[in-house]
């Protein structure tokens, strides 16, 4: 598109420059009169000549008129095509994004695309999760569209905005707006629209975690507190931190990965102990924790009997985790908390 417009502009400039030089050389007119004569000739406005024309000047005017009209039509066509194509692409893109949004289900919604929101979106996309971003700034929406990330322009505390993001069909929501009050309102609104939604929210001020949890969030995260704890752990437990980063990193090669999966009533693992299912022998994975409601069983005993809605946290290679998922079965439930 830009090359087409540049070509048209160059042709237009060339015809005006050529006409001006031609009248200057042939008729000996001033530069301004030559340029003015070129303009009224090419645009066919019908004004009289600004200076008498010789036979050569008349012939040059005819040639300039015929070539100029052709170039003007070409330029007008290119400009019209560019405008129409741009509008078509915009409308088509909006329609495509709208259809994509309507088909999304089980996706994650990220409210706010600041530095933290960008990190959340990057990590979710790296993990293969479908993401919709809610952002109130138009320039950020354009940037998200360039990155092919579905986005909704609007206030995350608004019911209409969250509905447009498909909150009723979403699996989870992250509220990482700049202030705690907006995060609380976002959590309240999202929870009222989807009681099953798993909500994580950012807390900035002291005591904000409790308010956000009371509003209906499943988790509240203070990035400053967690950042400070991580720095301390890097100092006193660097190998432990390295292992956690390694196990939570990209699932590539033969590296170990931590994964979680929830058991539903149809799972073959329900009402059986860890010793009976013997996942280490069958799949090669190790069960490092079991969460039952709000109770966490780290390094669980082999006689722990699994029940419906237990969340298993397992450690293994990518191949071992795939084998584990086959053993659990497609009907056992989806990954996630």
Could you tell me the CATH number of the domain that includes residue 297?
Answer: 3.30.70.1450
Of 68, 89, 82, the residue nearest 5 (C-alpha):
82
Q: What is the number of domains present in the chain? A: 3
Other Cβ atoms less than 10 A from the Cβ of 179: the count is 11
Residue 12 lies in a domain: yes
Beta partners for residue 109, in sequence order: 132, 173
Q: How confident is the model at residue 130 (pLDDT cuts 50, 70, 90)?
A: very high
Q: According to the model, what pLDDT value does residue 217 have?
A: 95
Over the stretch 51-110, which tens digit does the pLDDT of each residue have?
888 888 888 888 888 888 888 787 778 777 776 665 555 555 555 656 667 778 899 999
Bridge pairing between strands 295-298 and 286-292: antiparallel
Q: Closest Cα to residue 166, out of 98, 79, 116?
A: 98
The reported pLDDT for the residue numbered 5 is 67
Q: CATH code at 148?
A: 3.40.50.720
Q: Do residue 117 and residue 185 come from a single domain?
A: yes
Helices 180-193 and 208-215 cross at an angle (nearest 10°) of 20
Instruction: Specify if 28 maps to a domain.
Output: yes
- Segment 313-334 shows an average pLDDT of 71
What is the structure's pLDDT at 1?
53
pLDDT bracket for residue 212 (50, 70, 90): very high
Query: Which residue is associated with the tokens 């008129």?
Result: 65
**Same-domain status, 79 and 123:** no
pLDDT digits (tens, 9 = 90+) for 10-48: 888 888 898 899 988 898 888 998 888 888 888 877 677
Q: Is residue 264 scored above 70 in pLDDT?
A: yes
Q: What is the per-residue pLDDT for 332?
A: 37
Confidence of residue 251 (pLDDT cuts 50, 70, 90): low
Q: Where does residue 23 rank: exposed (0-12), middle (13-18), buried (19+ CB within 10 A)? A: buried
Q: What are 173's two structure tokens?
A: 């929501």
Residues whose CB falls within 8 Å of the CB of residue 19, separated by 6 or more in sequence, listed in order: 34, 35, 37, 38, 41, 42, 64, 68
In a shared domain, residues 166 and 83: no
Q: Indicate whether 119 and 70 sit together in one domain.
A: no
Supply the DSSP symbol for 169: G
Distance separating alpha carbons of residues 318 and 49, to the nearest angstrom? 82
Q: For residue 279, is it within any domain?
A: yes
DSSP string, 52-97: ---HHHHHHHHHHHHHHHHHHHHHHHHHHHHHHHHHHHHHHHHHHH
Is residue 124 domain-resident? yes
Tell which wins on pLDDT, 337 or 225.
225
Residues 7 and 41 in one domain: yes
Q: Phi-psi category of 223—alpha, beta or left, where left has phi over 0 and alpha has psi -120 to 50?
A: alpha
Domain assignment present for residue 238? The answer is no
* Residue 222 and residue 113 share a domain: yes
Q: Tokens 């050389």 — which residue?
A: 25
Out of 99, 127, 150, a domain closes at: 99
121 and 193 co-located in one domain: yes
End of a domain among 41, 69, 99? 99
Tell me, yes or no, whether 222 and 109 share the same domain: yes
CA separation for the pair 26, 33 (Å, rounded)? 13
State how far Cα 224 lies from the chain centre.
Answer: 25
Q: Do 108 and 213 belong together in one domain? A: yes
Quick one: 53 and 119 in the same domain? no
**Do the domain assignments include residue 231?**
no
- Domain stops at, among 72, 99, 126: 99
Q: What is the pLDDT of residue 195?
A: 95
Q: Tell me the CATH number at 34.
A: 1.10.287.70
Residue 157 dihedral angles phi and psi, to the nearest 5°: -85, -5
Does residue 241 form part of some domain?
Answer: no
Say if residue 21 is in the same domain as residue 85: yes
Same domain, 114 and 71: no
The DSSP bridge partners found for residue 262 are 311
The parent domain of residue 26 ranges over 2-99
Least confident of 53-57, 111-115, 178-182, 307-311: 53-57
> Is residue 242 in some structural domain?
no
């Amino acid at each position: 598109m830009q090359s087409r417009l540049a070509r048209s502009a160059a042709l237009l400039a060339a015809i005006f420059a050529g006409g001006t030089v031609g009248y200057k050389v042939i008729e000996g007119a001033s530069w301004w009169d030559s340029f003015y004569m070129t303009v009224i000739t090419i645009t066919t406005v019908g004004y009289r000549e600004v200076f008498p024309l010789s036979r050569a000047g008349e012939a040059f005017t005819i040639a300039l008129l015929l070539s100029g009209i052709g170039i003007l039509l070409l330029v007008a066509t290119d400009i019209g095509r560019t405008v129409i194509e741009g509008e078509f692409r915009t409308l088509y893109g909006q329609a495509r994004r709208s259809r994509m949004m309507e088909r999304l289900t089980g996706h994650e919604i990220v409210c706010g695309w600041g530095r933290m929101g960008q990190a959340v979106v990057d990590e979710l996309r790296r993990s293969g999760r479908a993401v919709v971003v809610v952002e109130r700034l138009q320039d950020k929406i354009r940037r998200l569209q360039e990155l092919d990330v579905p986005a909704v322009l609007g206030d995350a505390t608004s019911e209409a905005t969250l509905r447009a993001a498909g909150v009723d069909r979403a699996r989870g929501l992250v509220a990482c707006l700049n202030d705690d009050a907006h995060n609380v309102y976002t959590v309240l609104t999202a929870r009222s629209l989807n009681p099953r939604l798993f909500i994580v929210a950012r807390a900035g001020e002291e005591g904000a975690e409790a308010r956000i949890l009371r509003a209906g969030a499943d988790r509240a995260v203070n990035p400053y507190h967690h950042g400070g704890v991580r720095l301390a752990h890097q100092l006193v437990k660097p190998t432990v931190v390295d292992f956690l980063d390694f196990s939570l990193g990209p699932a590539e090669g033969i590296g170990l990965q931590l994964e979680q999966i929830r058991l539903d009533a149809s799972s073959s693992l329900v009402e059986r102990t860890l010793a009976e299912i013997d996942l280490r022998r069958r799949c090669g994975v190790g069960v490092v924790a079991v969460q039952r409601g709000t109770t966490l069983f780290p390094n669980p005993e082999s006689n722990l009997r699994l029940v419906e809605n237990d969340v298993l946290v397992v450690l293994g290679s990518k191949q071992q985790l795939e084998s584990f998922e086959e053993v659990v079965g497609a009907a056992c439930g989806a990954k996630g908390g």
